[in-house]
Amino acid sequence: MNKYQVVTLFPNLIEEWKKVGIINQALKKNLLEISSINLRNYGIGEYKQVDDSPYGGGPGMVLMPEPLDNAIVENKAKKNVFLTPSGQQMNENLIEELLNYESLNFICGRYEGFDQRVLDIHADYEVSVGQSVVSGGEIPALYVLEALIRRIPNVLGNPESLVNETFVNNQKDFPVYTRPEVYKEHKVPDVLLSGNHKEIDNWKKNNLKDM
């Protein structure tokens, strides 16, 4: 069973996300395991300190190496994936590669990010989820996890959902419609109502657009 751990200062975010939708169902069916590791538990001293000001000056705080190092060493996984805006851009090829590992740690930054030495020691992957900066690695980690988990066998109700999806073969998925047949004068294409499966399949193929 695939096992994923998220190292974070905000484990509640991860735990709430686990309660909804496909992830929740997959967990109930024991198709995978997800746990959150509270970085604060590895903090230093009475105040469980995890961050400090940057050497050389500058704004903000930096996540100290020791708490992260200890959290990662104590919660070993096959690969450590650090979420960072300057990392390799996430895409479906990366997701396929990550699916090969039965266990992964996702390490979420905050503030000005990680002390570089933690990356030097532990990072197998540095992953960015887009060319904009958000305040923490949790949402990026969940984004990667959602992409990963829907590809684990039996997670999706119908595995065919994955076949024509956007990005597969560098194409955009065909448009989809449901009831009613006419909505605000916009009509469902006639062919989809025809019952002619050959023509419907052709229509779907012809409506997969290049990216």
Ligand X SMILES: C[S@@+](CC[C@H](N)C(=O)[O-])C[C@H]1O[C@@H](n2cnc3c(N)ncnc32)[C@H](O)[C@@H]1O
Which residue, chain included where needed, has tokens 């590791």?
37
Please say which residue, 34 or 83, places its beta carbon nearer to ligand X: 83
Can you tell me the distance from the alpha carbon of 8 to that of 28, in angstroms, rounded to the nearest whole number? 23
Least distance to ligand X, CB of residue 39, Å: 12
Kindly tell me which of 86 and 178 has the beta carbon lying closer to ligand X: 86
141's tokens: 């980690």
Q: Are 102 and 2 in contact (CB under 8 A)?
A: yes
Tell whether residue 162 is a contact of ligand X (CB under 6 A).
no
- Closer residue to ligand X in complex, CB, 119/155: 119
118-147: which residues touch ligand X (CB under 6 A)?
A: 128-130, 132-137, 140
Residue carrying structure tokens 């995890």: 50
Q: Measured from the CB atom, is 84 or 105 closer to ligand X?
A: 84
Burial (CB count within 10 angstroms: exposed 0-12, middle 13-18, buried 19+), residue 112: middle
Please answer whether residues 79 and 42 qualify as being in contact, where contact means their C-beta atoms are separated by less than 8 angstroms. Answer: no
Note whether 65 binds ligand X by CB under 6 A.
no
Q: How far is the CB of 76 from ligand X (least distance, A)?
A: 20
Binding mask 70-109 for ligand X (x = CB under 6 A): -------------xxxx---------------------xx
Q: Does 11 bind ligand X (CB under 6 A)?
A: no
Cβ-closest residue to ligand X?
A: 109
Comparison of 86 and 154: residue with beta carbon closer to ligand X: 86
H helices of 8-154, in order, are 11-17, 21-28, 65-74, 92-98, 116-122, 138-149
Q: How far apart are CA 1 and CA 154, in angstroms?
A: 12
